[in-house]
Amino acid sequence: MNSKQLQYFLVTLQKGSIAAASRELDIAQPAISQQLGNLEREMGTPLFERSFKGVTLTHAGKIFATHARRLVDEINATKIDIQQLILEQSGNVRVGMLPSIGNVLSMTLISEIKQAGNKLNLDISTGPSYTVRGWLENNDIDIAITYEQDVDSLTMLCEPLIEEYMYLVIGTHPQSTTYSELKDRDSINFWELSQFDLLTPGPRDALGKLITHYENVTGVALKHNNAYSGQLMTGLRQLLQSDSAMILPSSAIFHLEESGLVKALKIEQPEMRRQVLMATNRGNPLTDACIKIQDVIRRATYQEQALNHWRGKMQFTQTNAVCA
């Protein structure tokens, strides 16, 4: 009996058929059938009753399922303990964040780690909010920096960092009629956003969820440009070459503002904002290295807010606050 057989058994049980398990695992049905057959021969009795409708547990299968779940939990717990030991010995910490957050924090975090002169190693990954959440749930990262729209209080322990202001961002090229119309303004009302062609992400993304929330609250329907790929860098290139606009925090575009390539108008009435949180997996104990990196993240956030790169209200007066 091995972990692969246990996995195939439990997924087949959960899905109700070998065909469904094959689709879930992306493994050929004969391979799963062979492993289940080997498992049943080792146990000396059938574990499944097979029919054209699928599979059901035999009496022996029910007993085996109880032990199989316990064994898989033990195997997973062992893997986590070993990973934690390796991390503690190496001082390596894996941090996942969204591209907009990475744009404002990554270089500062790397600089802070170098100045500290200790054995801490920082591994930064960026991706969409739902991907970052999945990384944390699967223990592929140790710390996630994400948005309130994409947290799970059952699996995540979260601490607020900053409540950032949202802006309408437009390109400043001379041919842009949108820029000509707005170049002398510093703010814009939410209802006015309906006048512009907006590059917005889909409903899976935290920003997409935020925009939908404000549309529902205000009753204002925005014009969403379906040509947007959802990738921040691609969207900014589209922005610089067209009359389109984007809704973004200052963290995503402060460097382009400083270069004069974009203009950002603060969204008001209602003021549009969202909370950024630092999250860890509830099931994993924090290593000393993780605790030190968390402190570095707080300092970096404070520094970038003070430089006006990340505009918003600081939120981390209370550490280790749990997400509501």
Are 47 and 57 spatial neighbours (Cβ–Cβ below 8 Å)? yes
Same domain, 66 and 98: no
Average pLDDT over residues 10-26: 90
Query: Considering 56, 86, 116, which residue would you say is the last residue of a domain?
Result: 86
Are 69 and 75 spatial neighbours (Cβ–Cβ below 8 Å)? no
Average pLDDT over residues 250-271: 95
The pLDDT value given to residue 85: 62
Cα–Cα dist 44/153, whole Å: 43
Same domain, 291 and 268: yes
Same domain, 205 and 276: yes
pLDDT classification of 175: cutoffs 50, 70, 90? confident
Query: Considering 86, 110, 134, which residue would you say is the last residue of a domain?
Result: 86
The pLDDT value given to residue 148: 87
- CATH value at residue 269: 3.40.190.290
The pLDDT value given to residue 301: 92
Same domain, 142 and 291: yes
Same domain, 99 and 116: yes
Average pLDDT over residues 294-311: 91
Same domain, 286 and 195: yes
Same domain, 96 and 77: no
Same domain, 26 and 130: no
pLDDT classification of 308: cutoffs 50, 70, 90? very high
Residues 6+ apart with CB under 8 A from 223: 194, 196, 197, 198
Same domain, 318 and 210: yes
Cα–Cα dist 262/175, whole Å: 13
- The range of the structural domain enclosing residue 16 comes to 3-86
Residue 220's CB is within 10 A of a number of other CB atoms, namely: 14
Q: How far is the CA of 232 from the CAs of 79, 224, 239, 251, in angstroms?
A: 35, 15, 10, 12
Pairing of strands 121-126, 92-97: parallel
Res. 236: pLDDT tops 60: yes
Same domain, 13 and 157: no
How many independent structural domains does the chain possess?
2
Query: Considering 71, 86, 101, which residue would you say is the last residue of a domain?
Result: 86
Same domain, 185 and 276: yes
pLDDT in tens, 87-105: 555 578 999 999 999 999 9
pLDDT classification of 84: cutoffs 50, 70, 90? low
The pLDDT value given to residue 317: 62
The pLDDT value given to residue 320: 40
- CATH value at residue 7: 1.10.10.10
Same domain, 161 and 98: yes
The pLDDT value given to residue 87: 56
Res. 228: pLDDT tops 80: no
Q: What percent of the chain has pLDDT over 90?
A: 57
